[in-house]
Each structure stands twice: as C-alpha cells, then as structure tokens.
Amino acid sequence: MPRLSDSMEEGTILKWLVSEGDEVKKGQEIAEIETDKATMTYEADEEGVFHPVAGEGDTLSIGEVIATIGEDAPATSGDNGGKPKEDAPEAEADEEDRAVDAEAAGEGGDAQPKAEQPESKTASGDENGRVKASPVARRLAKEQGVDLASVEGTGPGGRIVKADVEKAASGEAKPATKAEAKKDDAPKREERPAEREAEPAAAASASSPGTSDPKVTETGTTKGDVSVVDLTRTQQVVARRMAEAKATIPEFTLVAEIDMENAVALRSKLKEVAGEDAVVPSFNDMVVKACAFALRDHPRANGSYKDGKFELYSRVNVGVAVAAQNALVVPVIHDADQKSLGHIARDVRKLAARVRDGTVSPPELAGGTFTVSNLGMFGITSFTAVINPPQAAILAVGAMQQRPVIVDDRGKVEARHRMNVSLVCDHRILYGADAAEFLGRIRALLEEPLAMAL
C-alpha cells in the first residue's frame, strides 16, 4: 500500500484496473485507492506480470502488500513482497484467511470437506484459552464490535475466519460453547410484568433497519425506518482528525469585522480591464493572498506545535477548504505569498474543479501550513471552524454584506460592504496578542488591497 498523502495511514482498494496475469508497463494505472483525502489512481512502478494479493474493498495499512509485479508466478507464502521479515506471518495468515473464507462462502469449487475438529475447552481457543483467529478476522471484529470469544470458528482447528465474524455481526452466529447452548435451551424463568412490558421496546431496538414497527415509540416519538450508511475512507479520516483536534487542541477564537469597500472597488476595476476569458480574482482569493502575506510576517501562525516544540515552516502554503461529494477536501496553494492575485485565482479554480471531479493528486493536497474556510456563499455571516491539525490556526470567512456604518466623527452613516472573519488558534503556539496582531494584519491588507500588489 503506497503512501498517497502526507497524513495517510491506510488505504482501501476500490477497484483493480488490471486483471490477474496481465502484463503491465511501468507508469500504467493499476488501481483506484481511496485514501484519507480523496480517491487516487496508483501507477505501477515496474513492469511485469500482475498478481493481486489484496481484493477490492480491502483496507490495508501503509506498506502492506497489495499486489506483486514480476515473473509469471504469484507470490508464495514465503514471499512477503519486500515487507520486513517480522511482518511475514501476518501476511501469510491473511492469505490463509482469504482461502478459508472462500471455502466457507462456497467459492472453493472442488475444495474437500473439512475434517471435524475435536472440541476444545473454549470456543475457537487454544490450550491457553487464547481465541484463535486470523488477523483479518481480528481486524473485522474490532471494526464491527464483535466479541471473538462469542464466535464459533469454522477454520482449521476451530480458527475464527472472516466469514465467522461477518456471520456473528449479522446475528446469525451459533452459541460459542455447549455451555452457552445449554443455557439457551434451559427453561426460562417466569418473567415479571415489568420485563414483559419492556420486551416490545427491546425487540424494536434489536430489529434490523427497515423492519421496525413504526407504531413502537422510543421516548414518546418514532424514528421510522433507519438507514445505516457506511463512511467512506475520506469521511472516516475527517471524523477521526476533527475529533482529535477538538479533544487535544486548546483553542480560542478571535472575531473581526472587515471593511471590504476598497476590495469591492478593486474587483470592479479588475473586471473592467480583464479580457473576456480572463479569471478575475474573487474576494476569497484576496483573503488567501492577505493570509499568505500575514503568515510571512508572523512565523508562528505559519507553524505547528509538535512534541513540546514549535515547528516553523519556511514555505507559506495556504489550504482552501472545498466541499467535495459527501466530504471535505483541502487542496493547497503552495508558496501563496510569492504568487500574484491572478495566479492564486487560477490555481484555486483549477484545484477546486479537480477536487469535485475526483482527479486531484496527492501533491496538490500535501504540505498545507494554514487553512481558509469560506461559507459566505451559503449566506453564513460568521462561524467557528475546526483547526486542521497540526496547523496553528484556521480562518473562517463569512458572507460579505452591506451594513450601516458610522464613517466620521460627526456620526455620518453610510452603507458599506463588511465581512466577518473568525480566527481559531491553537493556544499552545499562538497566544492572544500574537493572534490579534496576525488577524489585524489580514484585516489591514483586505481594507487596503492595493498593498497586496506590491
């Protein structure tokens, strides 16, 4: 499994683009892999005969073998595909598990029936009481919340395999031991009235989605049919990283209102002088540029807190949050402080389009040192964003509106374009005064946008 993004820890094989035994060339696309940020295509780094090791839908950690390319022979159980030797037993166990799963699912074709295994002291356990299960089964059990001790193994020697865990997760598993089966067959004690009254609610909560009785209520209301939706790899990582950010980062928020009247005038002028097909910078492009200049002037805002130290970055790379299909992706404008407004505008549009059509590449998502999140197009006037770890801060941008503003000492009121921004900071690296100066610099640049042309 290749590392396709800087924060990637594991990936899911969505689709193999070549088949078993195909001759592949170096640079040929062989797989679609879902990472923590997007779906990527993976190219072969050598040529030869292709033999898949992982199946479509399998999720593997970085460095685990997904396929072999070489001579016209698949990897043997003694070949771990270049992984460290100590990882080989798990890889072999995974291979064995896949074979046993295929037998259990009836995919083995001419496979011989398994010999009856002697009954052990514990279900699917060895003489020490340890549950015998393949690595794939253990990983699936952990994901599904299945207690391996309650699962009856159908693999060699009573070993628990993937199919056993799937059956247990669906509620079809048999009792793990004879003692449990005997307990289940024992006459039930007479139920008390309170227990009989609670039975309908318990049955409703245990029923599968779409089969619950809509008449049964829970705390006085009904939920109707329930649909359970599995998260994509990107959604899982977003959920994990955001939870980690809220749990581990001591954050605080600064809010400012920015006068955008001069920015509106500048954009109108740019529209007049631009050609018909020219890309005119948006107000969000101006925000990105202002942040880039301010980050250059305030190094700690362009850094991160890590392992009790400050990491300060020499490059200013501003990420722009883009809403993809059912996910949030942050492509990065690298060296934004060195690019013109027009260059930033073209880069943002290109990257946003690539995010939405699923063709964004790993380098375009890597290396961000700061993030801008804008919900103004949805009419949101202000909001608080969640820091994208390990970055020091994130700027949340609201909608620009005309508001009545006092413009001189005599109390004269005018309608002017104003915009709210919120700066969420990691207090371990950005302190109150530092953050206030940083946000003040952003505001000054946006209120006098010609300064960004220098």
**Positions marked active-site:** 427
CB atoms within 10 A of CB 295: 27
- Retrieve residue 191's tokens: 């139920």
Q: Is 70 exposed, middle or buried (0-12, 13-18, 19+ CB in 10 A)?
A: middle
Q: How far apart are CA 337 and CA 7, in angstroms?
A: 24
Yes or no: say if 400 and 377 are a contact pair by the CB < 8 Å rule.
Answer: no
Any idea what DSSP says for residue 66? -
How far apart, in whole angstroms, are the C-alpha atoms of residue 126 and residue 393? 52
Q: Which residues contact 406 (CB under 8 A, 6 or more apart)?
A: 412, 413
Nearest to 372 by CA among 351, 356, 403: 351
What distances in angstroms separate CA 22 from CA 93, 95, 408, one per listed residue? 26, 21, 76
Give the whole-angstrom CA distance, residue 304 versus residue 312: 7
d(CA 217, CA 205): 10
Tokens of 325: 């299909």
Q: Which of 178, 171, 176 is nearest to 153 (CA)?
A: 176
Give the C-alpha distances (Å, rounded to integers) separating 310 from 64, 252, 318, 388, 424: 33, 18, 19, 16, 18
CA angle (240 as vertex; 314, 248 as ends), nearest 5: 65
Q: Select from 227, 230, 206 the least CA-distant residue to 216.
A: 206
DSSP character string of 143-210:
HHT--GGG----SGGG-B-HHHHHHHHTT-PPPSSHHHHHHHHSPPPPPPHHHHHHHHHHHHHHSPTT
| Region of residue 189 (phi > 0: left; psi between -120 and 50: alpha; otherwise: beta) | beta
